[in-house]
Structure 1
Amino acid sequence: MKKTYALVGTGGRAEFFYGALAADFKDSSKLIAFCDSNETRMGYANELLQTKYEHEAVAVYRAEQFESMIQSEQPDVVIVTTVDRTHHTYIIKALELGCDVITEKPMTVDEEKCRQIMDAIDRTGRNVRVTFNYRYAPHNTKIREIIKSGVLGEVYSVNFEWALDTQHGADYFRRWHRDKRNSGGLLVHKSTHHFDLVNFWLGTFPETVYAAGGLRFYGKENAEERGVTRFYQRAHGSGAAKSDPFAIQLAENPHLKAMYLDAEAEDGYQRDQSVFGDGISIEDTLGVLVTYKNKAILNYSLNAYLPWEGYLVSFNGSKGRMEVKVREQSYINSGGNKQEEGSIEEKSIVILPMFGAPYEIDVSETEGGHGGGDPELLRDLFGEPRDDEFHRAASHIDGAMSILTGIAGNHSLKTGEAVKIDSLIQWKKA
């Protein structure tokens, strides 16, 4: 019998899931409904289902009809790909109405909403999966394997630098993510991937977090320093935006036009706001120091305006050091070039034994985004269950512990003090 799915939130990330259900897992799964606050956007999702994936249109429900959708359609699983600040609402309602949940990262944006989700899981006994596709990238799995093998001995410290370039990084400052109330800022929305990787690699959870940073490059307050002399709030219809390399032209991209520009009349959401405009409350320059329950420490940085996209990470252990470099293909979210998102342009993993010659570890990539990690995640979500010695499937506990690092970082940014994770939330971890 096919497992049935309903999806809430048909924006840029949704196609990753409904496209897979319609094309690759149609023999074992059935997509039955969309739910969104914007009917135009739902209509476009149904159009893609029919024209791109040769799938029949599914039932559509407005956001306020979410509970009615579940009662009428009775899906086995609800997929949540809405704006981050609303994740908890749909997760909790779905659990209480008897569904399991697959949620896009981050699971939510603050500790109170996280606590509500954890309480709902305990209360209902239902299952929540968080979609950390980076765990499944072959090179990231290999890092976990190497550390687990003991080649490095006990890992004492990690240096982790993540670079977003002026295409991908700037995109967070054009759209709803620019308001920290929506996204929790990059420490929650983006860094949840990276903090989860460290938890996954080291097999531990964070204990104390200290963060520093701010809005140093983007924003109206930095416009003059960047040489911006003609102000505009959004690119569409602006002459000033025509010569701005940071502007995105929705009308020139059929996919973006159909998904966002054509849908504006319903909710007023503007996907193409100026990265040097008003209303940006998130940071673009961040540094975080984390201590872990196994006594390891992490020195982490994130910058969202660099000429290079990817990450550098090094592990220092009692038997040696590991150095990793990964360069990724930059992209604009939901820009219509899904096959390129997160594809790997360059990677290297080098082991430096304490006594001995350095050597490189070869890792084969496969087809699909993030070096083949995206298809692996989708198979894990929608395919037949398989044994996984690395336990890459992320639970609600994993989802909570990754966002709590960023949430603690946000508190630290405000107070200038280190924050204990256990001061934010307590729950049953069994």
Structure 2
Amino acid sequence: MRRNSYTLAALAVSAVPGLEPARTIPVATPIDEFDVAGIIGTDGRRVLVTAPTTAAAGAHLEKDVHVTDALAGTSLAPLVTTAIGFARLPEGGRAAVTAPPHGVPVLFDRLGASLRLARSLGEVIARIHAVPAYVAESAGVETFTADALRRGHRARVERAREESGLPATVAQRWDAVLADDDLWDLHPCFVHGALSEEALFRDGEAITGVTGWHEASTGDPAADLAWLVSALDPDHVDALFAAYTAALPVTPHPRTLERAQVLGEFAVVDWLLHGIDSEDEEIIADARGMLDDLDHDLAQLAREEAERRYDDLAAGSRAAEAADADDAGWDAEGDRDLDPDHAGEDGDVTIEVEEIEVEVDVEVRAPEEHKAGTAVSDETDGPAVADRDADRNRGPVERGPIER
């Protein structure tokens, strides 16, 4: 049953004593199973009235009320709006009246353009994940162990494989990540479970409101990061996660972002199974298109990784060859590595050779006729040297005729 703004205003009057509506403002909601309107009273008071249209929506609303009541005593109190009144509905269930969230809805384009807003969101997510366990228990949320979360993902992937089929590359990747024990060695904590731009409000560059707590649970902290990792650019993801890590009272799992990426991929499985369960061929076709896109992206990433590894190996090989050539004094082409500063204008290279002093041991042998005991002396005043000098001083030798 759908309700217009005037009917919703009447519900607000019955839920909040003393409220006199002056104006009504229709409010768009991402969940089609709720009728929502803003009411402005004659005294300027503003309230928000939410009425479920189905039994399932009524259950969501009740859970939201219980969670926000429990969070009112935590550091998240300024970010949540608690119920200030209820009105019974003719078909059963009840409508809830709350104060409106402070600020304006967060548009994803704005989030993707502001590092300050991304950091603020990271801090808020850390505050959500730091909610004590006893608060989660008092809120009545479901609690999942790390093993139960992993088994649930595996079961949904197997069902999608059996009922619709999965592209080969996608199936191969998901089998690998689900078999990775370290990736799923996580510590469950309180999580929002349905964070999106529709559930967030801001004032300037700060997150000021969080709504939509009907999927809160004690589960995987990566679930609240999955929608951001797959959509924001790397700089904004780094800024958000740095702020998240700094504000978190414990050190997050070292592979939290990697698991968030995987959970973003598993969201396509959930969409596909939703289409199968509702027998909606349009949703099924849309999900299959997403799987094909993911298959293409994974194949492209695999090619790029292979090329990067090949380039790294080739660069390492060239560097090793160059180092060996330098050690041997040769360049990479096998030529002597010459200093270009010594090249002339014509390109010739002048090699400067240092003067080298060499000691040589020489064995001097005496002429045959002196072998019999005549020593060769290197003394300058020895007989042999004296005779030689005398011969030099005689001048030309006069020769007589040769007798025949």
TM-score interval (norm. to shorter): under 0.3
TM-score, normalised relative to structure 2 = 0.23
If asked which structure has higher relative contact order (CA below 8 Å, sep 6+), I would say 1
- Higher share of residues assigned strand: 1
- Higher share of residues assigned helix: 2
